[in-house]
Amino acid sequence: MLGQNLEKLGEYLGATPAARAPERGMVVTRVFDAPRQVVFEAWTRPEHLARWWGPKAFTLPSCDVDFRTGGAYRMVMRGPDGTEYPFHGVYREIVPPSRIEFSAVIESGPGAAVLTVVTFDDEGGKTRVTVRQTIPALEEAARGQRQGWTESLEKLAEHVAAR
């Protein structure tokens, strides 16, 4: 079931399999027309995360966050076809307003965690966000990884512009 759901997610995003070498990772960067504190805060609270997390046409109906170093979170993304993608992890490091590092484990999967590091750099009133993430062990999970983050960051841009 997990493989089928992840394959559906990859197919929906229309992506090809990502590079598989363990020393390689995915990096996505975007500049937001908002102050660093505003962009950082959008990553810290469920009411913000629920508005932008996930690829285009996906929602985040469940978002439980204990935003502190060592704190846990659990989220469920829902695709346009109703398929749910639950995952959870731990915030490994939080340095406001410049860095968040967290793990993510896809529930019902093999248990291998993906590590994500997000940095927030001030660029004269704008904010450059860089997302670095390890490549998931399952090929199905790796499909669409970059496109999923790109679409999420597009939704984040709309969210912070509206604030």
> What does the domain layout of the chain look like in residue ranges?
2-11+25-161
pTM assigned to the model: 0.84
When pLDDT is averaged across residues 108-113 and rounded to a whole number, the result is 74
Question: How confident is the model at residue 23, as a pLDDT?
Answer: 45
Q: Which residue has tokens 């968040």? A: 100
Residue 106 pLDDT level (bands cut at 50, 70, 90) = confident
Task: Report the distance separating Cα 125 and Cα 68, nearest Å.
Answer: 26
pLDDT at 105 over 50: yes
Average pLDDT along the chain? 87
Task: Report the distance separating Cα 74 and Cα 66, nearest Å.
Answer: 9
When pLDDT is averaged across residues 118-124 and rounded to a whole number, the result is 97
Which class would CATH give 2-11+25-161?
A: alpha beta
Return the minimum-mean-pLDDT range out of 28-42, 67-81, 125-139.
Answer: 125-139
pLDDT at 9 over 70: no
pLDDT at 141 over 60: yes
Question: How confident is the model at residue 112, as a pLDDT?
Answer: 78
pLDDT at 118 over 80: yes
The C-alpha torsion from 137 through 140 and 145 to 151, rounded to 10°, is: -150
